[in-house]
Structure 1
Amino acid sequence: MQQEALEVVREYTEAVFRRARIPMEPLNYEVDWADQPSRHTSYPGALRLPLPVELPDLPTLRDLFTGEHLPVSAGWSLPRLAALLRLSYGVLDRRLAANWNQDLAKRAHFEHAVWGRGTASGGGMYPVEVFLVAGASGPLLPGVYHYGSGQHVLERLLVGDVSGTVRAAVGDGAGAADSFLVASIRFWKNSFKYNSFCYHVVTQDLGALLGSWDLLARALGAPLPRLLGFDPAPIDRLLGFDSDRESAFAVVPLEWVGGDGGRVSATGPVDAAPPAADVRVGQPAFERSRRLREFPAVIAVHRAAAAPTVAVPDAAYRVAPGDLPGEPVALPAPDTQRLEHPLSTVLATRSSSFGRFRRPPELTAAELGTTLAFAAAGRHHPVDVGLPADAPALTRLWVFANHVDGLATGSYAYCARRHALLPAAPEPDGGMSAFLQQQYFLTNYTMGQVGAVLAISGRLDAVLDTFGPRGYRVLNAEIGAVAQRAYCAATAQRVGCGAVLGFDNVSMDDALGLTGSDERTVLFLLLGRHPDGTADLAYRL
C-alpha cells in the first residue's frame, strides 16, 4: 500500500513540476470569482469569545537571529496565545497599492479589499484553519475552539475535555500537554482558484504559518513543538471534517503557565483513553459558495500523503543536498543592524511585492546575504518524523543574481556554513533578465526590475524514500517556513519580496545544473527595490 501511495505522490509532483509545459487537469478551468468561498471561515452558531488585542513588546529580528535578549522559556498564557494567533493569521490592516496587476481597479472597492496578515499565503487564499483543543489545565473551559481570524475571536464548538483524542493520535509527541493547536487545511479555499495545483500550494502555506509560529514562540518565550507525522483520522472525526475536503495537518502541544509562573502539566495520565469515537463537533462552518468542486488529483495525493510516516534510521543524513564544487564567492557578513526591528512590526508590515519592483537603485550584496542567512537559519526545525535534532536541512537556497550591486550576474548555490555563494552557472546567453522573463509564465512581474530570484530546492525522491509519502508534506512545510523567514528579513531591510510558483521548473533546474539529479527547485522568491513615492494605503487595525 505504501508503494502505491508513493507512486501517487510522485505522479502528482511530476505533474506540478512540468505544468508550465503540460497543463494539469482540468484543462481550460475557469475560476468562478462570484462564487468563491469566504476568506474567513466562521461558525455562525458558536459562542464567540473575544481574545486580548494588546500585543506584548517582542524581541527584534536581530535578537532572534543572534539568540540574544530572548525571554526565558516559559509556558503559554491566553494573552501570549492571542498574540501568536493575531500576528500570524489575524487581520492586521487593509491595504491598497497602485501597481500593474489586472485586478487593481476592483481592489479599491470595499467588497474586494485586501486585508493584510503577518504570514504569506499562495494567492492570498489563507486555507489553513486553526483550532484549539483545550484540556483541563488551561485558562478556558475545556472543549474545542476555532480561531475566527476575521474578528480575532475563539468560537466555541464543543464543551468537554476531549484532549485525550488528540493525545492518543499524536502519541509521545504530546508530552505533558493536554491542550493543542490543530492546523487544518480547507482545500476549497485554495482549489476554487488553483484547482489540481492546490495541494502543492497549501502544504507550503502550512509551512509558512509554522515558520511564523516558530519565530513568535521564541519571541514570546514559550515552547512550540510541531507534530506532522500523526494519524489525522481521529482528529478529523473529532473536528467533524470530511477528510477529503478538510484535514488536520499539524498539531502543536501547549503547556500553560500557572499563576506562580510555573508550567501547568496535564491532569491525569498521558495515556488516558480517548473519548468515544462519536464525540465530535456538530456545528457546521458557514459556506459561502453555492457549488463546491472537488478535484480527483487533490483527493488522491492527499489520501496518499496522509499515510503515517515510517522513517528509515539514519537516512535523514542522506536527504540533504551536498555542496557544489568551485571557488566560493564570499558575501558581506549579515548586517544585523538592518534587522533591528521588533518581530511584531515586521509581521504587521510584511507584504508581497505584486509587481512593484523598480530599479535603480540596485539590490546590494549585503541585503541579499542578510536575507539568505536569516532564511537559512530556520530551515531545520525538529519534527516528529524521525529527524534527529542535529539532522541537516532538507532544502537548499539558490540565487539567480540579476541586478545585485557587488555580485556578478549568474547563478549560485548558497552555503550557509560558509555564508558564501558557490557558482552554479554564468549569465545565460541573452542576459539574466531575458532568461528569467522567458521562464516566468505569469504577467504580474517584470524580471528586468528584479534584483535577484531566490530558489528553494529539495531532494523529493530522497525525502520520500526516507519518510514515505508524508515526506512530501514535511518537505513543503520546511520550504514554506524558509519563505516566511525570507519575507521577514526582506521586510526588516525595506527590501521588496514576492513568492512565486510561476516559473518553468524544468528550465530553472537545467540552468542550475540539477537536471539528472533528484534535486528540484520548488518555490521562488523575488527580491528587489520598491519606489519611494507610491500611492499606497495601509490602514492599521
Structure 2
Amino acid sequence: MQQEAVAVVREYTEAVFRRAQVPMEPFNFEVDWVDQPSRHLSYPGAPRLPLPTAVPDLATLRDLVTGENLPPVRGWSLDRLATLLRLSYGVLDRRMTVNWNQDAAKRAHFEHAVWGRGTASGGGMYPVEIYLVAGASSPLLPGVYHYHTGQHVLERLLVADVADTVRTALGDAASPDGPAAEDSFLLATLRFWKNSFKYNSFCYHVVTQDLGAMLGSWDLLAPALGGPLRRHLRFDPAPLDRLLGFDSDAQSVFTVVPVRWTDDGRPAPTAAPAARSATTSAASAASQAGPSTAPAAILSRPAGSPADGPRVRHEPFERSQRVLEFPQVTTVHRAAVHSAPTPGRVADAAPVDLPGDPVALPAPQIDRLAQPLSTVLASRNSSFGRFRRPPELTAAELGTTLAFAAAGGHHPADVKGPDGGPALTRLWVFANHVDGLDTGSYAYCGRQHALLPAGPEPEGGMSAFLQQQYFLTNYTMSQVGAVLAISGRPDAVLDVFGPRGYRVLNAEIGTIAQRAYLSATAQRLGCGAVLGFDNVAMNTALGLDDTDERTVLFLLLGRHPEATADLAYRL
C-alpha cells in the first residue's frame, strides 16, 4: 500500500513539473469566476467572539536573526494569539496598484478589491482555514473555534473538551513534557475548492506551499510574541477531520500546532449571537444546488457519524452553487495522507554538496532588516508587473535575502527535530541584472554564504532566456534583477518520509518563500513568487538533468519605481 501511494505521488509531481510542456487535465478548463467560493469561510449561526485588534510593534527581522531584544518565552495569551492570527492570515488593508496584471483595471471597483494579508498565497486564494481546539487551561470556554479571516473573530463551533482527540491523533508526539502538558491546539487545514476552482488539478501543489508560507509567518511571529510553536506534520488526520465535520476529500487537517497558555491572558470575551442574514438563506440555497454538468463531480460524501463522538455540527456557508472535484487532486491527497511508519534519516533527503569554486557574497546587511515584524508583514505584497531598473539590484541585497530565506529550512518540526534539522531545500540564483555579480546561474551555499557557479549566461542573454521559459504575461524579465529558484529532491524525500514527504517538502518551500518576501520588503525591494516557469528547461539550465534535484518554486527579485500610483487603506 505504501509503495502504491508513493507511486501515485510521484506521478502527480511529474505531471506538475512537466505541465509547461504537457498540460494537466482537465484540458481547456475555464474558470467560473461568477461562481467562485467566498474568500472568507464562515459558519452562519455560530456564536462569534470578537478578538483584540490592536497590533503592537514587534521585534525586528534583525532581532530575529541575532536573537536580541526578543521577549521571554512565556506562552500564549488571547491577545498574543489574536496578533498571531491577524498578522499572519487576517485582512490588513485594501490595496490598489498600477501594474501589468490582466485584472488591474477591475481592482478599482469594490467588488474586485484586493484585501492584503501578511502571508503570500498562490493567486491570492488563501485556502488555509485555521481552527482552535481550546482545552481546560484556555481562557476560552473549552471547545472548537474557527478563525474568521474577514472579520477577525472566533466562531464557536463546539462546546466540549476534545483535547484527547487531538492527542490521540498526534500519538507519541503529543507533548515532550507529558500527555497533559498541552491541552489546546491550532489546526491548520486546507480547503481545496478555494484554490481548485481556479487552478483545478494543479491545486494540490499550490495549497501545500501556501500552508508552508503561513507556517513561515508563524515561525517568525512566535518568538517575536514570546509564545513557542512547533509544527506537527506526521499524525493521523482522520479523527481530526471527523471532529471538524469534514469530508476529507474536500478539506483536511494538514498541521497541528500545540498552544500552551499563560495565566496572564485577558478574560475571555462574551460570545455574541451571530447575525442572521441573507447569508444564512443563501447557504441553505447552496446546499440544495443540483448536480454539476461540468467534467467533475459534486462533493457530497458525508464525514463521520454520531458514533464518532463529539464533532462540529455547524455547516460552513458555501457561496458556489457547484463545487467540483478534480480526480488528480483527490487521488494525490488520499495517497499523500500516508506516512512512513518509521521515517529514515532527514539528512538522506537533504541536497548534496556541490563542487565548484565559491563566489563570495558581501556579508548579510542585517541592519537593513531593522524593521518591526508587524510593519513588514503589513507591508508585504507581490510585485506583479512593477519591477523597474535601473538602479540595479546589488549583490549585498541579494545575499541578505538569500541568507534570511535559507534560514527557513531549519524550522523546528516533529519530522525534523527541535533544532530544525538539515534543510530539505536549496536556493539557486539566475543572476540577470545584479550589480557586483556576473550574469549567470548559481547555487547558494548558506554554510559559506557564497555562490557556486552552475552555468554561464545563456545564448541570447539571461533576460531573453527567462522570458522564453515564463509562460505567463504579468512580468517583464528584462526588468527583474534576479530569479531565485527553490529546489528539493522529491524522490529522496518520499523515500525518507513516505508519501507524506511531498507535503513536508512543499511546506518547507512555502516557508522559505515567505521569508524571502519579508526580507525583500524590509529592504524595500520587490518580490514575486511564481510557478509559471518551465521547470524542465530551468532544471537543464542549472545542470540538474542527471540528478534527482528539481526546481519547485521561483521568486523574482528586483526594484520598484519610487514614484507609484499605489493605495493601501489600512484596516
Query: Kindly tell me: are residues 309 and 74 of structure 1, through their superposed partners in 2, closer, same or farther at Cα, counting changes over 3 Å?
Result: farther
**Number of residues of Structure 1 aligned to a counterpart in Structure 2:** 527
How far apart are 1:172 and its partner, in Å?
Answer: 3.0
Q: In structure 2, give the amino acid aligned to 1:468.
A: G
Q: In structure 2, give the amino acid aligned to 1:83.
A: T
1:515 equivalent in alignment to 2:545: yes
**In the TM superposition, what whole-angstrom CA distance separates every residue of 1:264-322 from its partner, at most 9, and x where no partner exists?**
xxxxxxxxxxx962311001100000001100000000000011333444x21121112
* 1:277 aligned residue (296, 308, 311): 308
Query: Kindly tell me: are residues 260 and 353 of structure 1, through their superposed partners in 2, closer, same or farther at Cα, counting changes over 3 Å?
Result: closer
Q: Partner of 2:212 in structure 1?
A: 207
1:148 equivalent in alignment to 2:148: yes
* 1:290 aligned residue (315, 321, 327): 321
1:81 equivalent in alignment to 2:86: no
1: CA distance, partners of 2:412 / 2:454: 30
How far apart are 1:453 and its partner, in Å?
Answer: 0.2
Alignment of 1:47-86 (within 5 A): 47-86=47-86
2: CA distance, partners of 1:98 / 1:336: 31
**Corresponding residue SS for 2:158:** strand
**Corresponding residue SS for 1:256:** coil
Q: In structure 1, give the amino acid aligned to 2:64.
A: L
For the Cα contact (< 8 Å) 1:309–1:385, is it kept in 2? no
Q: Partner of 1:169 in structure 2?
A: 169
2: CA distance, partners of 1:390 / 1:454: 23
For the Cα contact (< 8 Å) 1:42–1:286, is it kept in 2? yes
How far apart are 1:260 and its partner, in Å?
Answer: 10
Query: Kindly tell me: are residues 388 and 183 of structure 1, through their superposed partners in 2, closer, same or farther at Cα, counting changes over 3 Å?
Result: closer
Query: Kindly tell me: are residues 303 and 451 of structure 1, through their superposed partners in 2, closer, same or farther at Cα, counting changes over 3 Å?
Result: same
Q: In structure 1, give the amino acid aligned to 2:484.
A: L
2: CA distance, partners of 1:493 / 1:16: 33
1:226 equivalent in alignment to 2:231: yes
Query: Kindly tell me: are residues 344 and 4 of structure 1, through their superposed partners in 2, closer, same or farther at Cα, counting changes over 3 Å?
Result: same
Alignment of 1:37-436 (within 5 A): 37-175=37-175, 176-259=181-264, 277-313=308-344, 315-385=345-415, 389=419, 391-436=421-466
Q: In structure 1, give the amino acid aligned to 2:358.
A: P
How far apart are 1:29 and its partner, in Å?
Answer: 0.2
Q: In structure 2, give the amino acid aligned to 1:119.
A: T
2: CA distance, partners of 1:342 / 1:230: 34
Q: In structure 2, give the amino acid aligned to 1:172.
A: D
Alignment of 1:14-53 (within 5 A): 14-53=14-53
For the Cα contact (< 8 Å) 2:409–2:420, is it kept in 1? no
Q: In structure 2, give the amino acid aligned to 1:151.
A: Q
The range that moved more, 275-284 or 383-392, is: 383-392
**In the TM superposition, what whole-angstrom CA distance separates every residue of 1:99-130 from its partner, at most 9, and x where no partner exists?**
12111111110010000000000000000000
For the Cα contact (< 8 Å) 2:346–2:421, is it kept in 1? yes
1:448 equivalent in alignment to 2:478: yes
Query: Kindly tell me: are residues 341 and 390 of structure 1, through their superposed partners in 2, closer, same or farther at Cα, counting changes over 3 Å?
Result: closer
Q: In structure 1, give the amino acid aligned to 2:313.
A: G
Q: In structure 2, give the amino acid aligned to 1:187.
A: F
For the Cα contact (< 8 Å) 1:229–1:309, is it kept in 2? no
For the Cα contact (< 8 Å) 2:411–2:421, is it kept in 1? no
- C-alpha RMSD over aligned residues: 1.3
2: CA distance, partners of 1:309 / 1:75: 32
**Corresponding residue SS for 1:53:** coil
For the Cα contact (< 8 Å) 2:5–2:335, is it kept in 1? yes
Query: Kindly tell me: are residues 244 and 423 of structure 1, through their superposed partners in 2, closer, same or farther at Cα, counting changes over 3 Å?
Result: same
2: CA distance, partners of 1:310 / 1:390: 21
**Corresponding residue SS for 2:513:** helix
Q: In structure 2, give the amino acid aligned to 1:33.
A: W
2: CA distance, partners of 1:358 / 1:389: 40
1: CA distance, partners of 2:551 / 2:57: 37
1:470 equivalent in alignment to 2:503: no
Q: Which runs of 5+ in 2 are unaligned?
A: 176-180, 267-305
How far apart are 1:259 and its partner, in Å?
Answer: 3.7
For the Cα contact (< 8 Å) 2:213–2:512, is it kept in 1? yes
For the Cα contact (< 8 Å) 2:213–2:513, is it kept in 1? yes
**In the TM superposition, what whole-angstrom CA distance separates every residue of 1:387-437 from its partner, at most 9, and x where no partner exists?**
574631000000000000000000000000010000000100000000000
2: CA distance, partners of 1:419 / 1:311: 34
1: CA distance, partners of 2:506 / 2:73: 28
**Corresponding residue SS for 2:325:** coil
1: CA distance, partners of 2:105 / 2:25: 31
**Corresponding residue SS for 1:207:** helix
How far apart are 1:68 and its partner, in Å?
Answer: 1.3
**In the TM superposition, what whole-angstrom CA distance separates every residue of 1:5-51 from its partner, at most 9, and x where no partner exists?**
00000000000000000000000000000000000000011111000
**Corresponding residue SS for 2:355:** coil
Q: In structure 2, give the amino acid aligned to 1:62.
A: R
**Corresponding residue SS for 1:414:** strand
For the Cα contact (< 8 Å) 1:412–1:424, is it kept in 2? yes
TM-score by length of 2: 0.91
Query: Kindly tell me: are residues 372 and 311 of structure 1, through their superposed partners in 2, closer, same or farther at Cα, counting changes over 3 Å?
Result: farther
2: CA distance, partners of 1:100 / 1:372: 27
For the Cα contact (< 8 Å) 1:148–1:155, is it kept in 2? yes
**In the TM superposition, what whole-angstrom CA distance separates every residue of 1:484-540 from its partner, at most 9, and x where no partner exists?**
000000000000000000000000000000002110000000001101111110001
TM-score by length of 1: 0.96
**Corresponding residue SS for 1:154:** strand
How far apart are 1:90 and its partner, in Å?
Answer: 0.3
Q: In structure 2, give the amino acid aligned to 1:330.
A: A
Q: In structure 2, give the amino acid aligned to 1:252.
A: V
**Corresponding residue SS for 2:207:** helix
1: CA distance, partners of 2:372 / 2:136: 34
Q: Which runs of 5+ in 1 are unaligned?
A: 262-274
1: CA distance, partners of 2:186 / 2:221: 14
For the Cα contact (< 8 Å) 1:316–1:387, is it kept in 2? no
1: CA distance, partners of 2:394 / 2:254: 38
**In the TM superposition, what whole-angstrom CA distance separates every residue of 1:210-240 from its partner, at most 9, and x where no partner exists?**
0000000010111101001001000000000
Q: In structure 1, give the amino acid aligned to 2:164.
A: G
1:10 equivalent in alignment to 2:10: yes
**In the TM superposition, what whole-angstrom CA distance separates every residue of 1:311-340 from its partner, at most 9, and x where no partner exists?**
444x21121112321111111111111100
Q: In structure 2, give the amino acid aligned to 1:292.
A: V
2: CA distance, partners of 1:86 / 1:59: 16
**Corresponding residue SS for 1:483:** helix
How far apart are 1:386 and its partner, in Å?
Answer: 5.8
Q: In structure 2, give the amino acid aligned to 1:287.
A: E
1: CA distance, partners of 2:138 / 2:240: 20
For the Cα contact (< 8 Å) 2:78–2:265, is it kept in 1? no
For the Cα contact (< 8 Å) 2:416–2:422, is it kept in 1? no
